[in-house]
Structure 1
Amino acid sequence: MTLQDDFHKLSEKIKQYRDEARVQMHLAREDVKDEWDDLEKDWERFRHKMDQVLHDTQDAGHESRETLNRLGEDLKKGYQNIRKKL
């Protein structure tokens, strides 16, 4: 086998890895986008719930505040997870 053959095989293997990585990147982007879209819906729910709790601050029960806190923590973790993936 010649040096040219060796380089040709190497080039083909690199191309294969590159193509596979490209497909994986595309799929990962779609997964992250789907995750982002879900988080955005949760963000809107969080904001709505927060507005309710802040508006009714004196009447807001402990359970409402805890729910809001859990939603906020889940959102924070979700956005941190996306940051890590990017």
Structure 2
Amino acid sequence: MGYTKDDLKKLVDELTKQRDELKVKLHLAKAEGRDEWEKLETKWEEVKGKMKTMGEEAGEAADSVTAAAGLLADEIKKGYERIKNAF
């Protein structure tokens, strides 16, 4: 397709606008991803602690710790998926 000078200028203007909007969205996505990551890291440390406790506990206490660790692990998995989908 042949472009006139005006057509090309309009196209470049549109692309510039889209580019600027995408840069802002990417920047925000990175910030949101970092915030989500920090929250998940705290939960990750909790899971690791509960995993250690599971090895030390017995009986009902171990079942309770296992259930709590499972819930945290599910939250972390969902959070990782949210971060992945943001990019």
Paired positions, count? 85
CA gap 1:54/1:85 in 2 versus in 1, 3 angstroms: same
Please list every run of 5 or more consecutive structure 2 residues that lacks an aligned counterpart in the other structure.
none
Task: Name the SS for the 1:10 alignment partner.
Answer: helix
| Offset, 1:27 | 0.5
One-letter amino acid of the counterpart of residue 46, structure 1: V
Q: TM-score, normalised by structure 2?
A: 0.83
- Name the residue aligned to 2:49: 48
Mapped to 1, the partners of 2:48 and 2:14 lie a distance apart of: 50
Q: How does 1:13-52 map to 2 (within 5 A)?
A: 13-52=14-53
- Name the residue aligned to 1:82: 83
CA RMSD in angstroms, aligned pairs only: 1.9
List, as ranges, runs of 4+ consecutive aligned residues in structure 1 with deviation greater than 3 Å: none
CA gap 1:81/1:57 in 2 versus in 1, 3 angstroms: farther
Please list every run of 5 or more consecutive structure 1 residues that lacks an aligned counterpart in the other structure.
none
Q: TM-score, normalised by structure 1?
A: 0.84
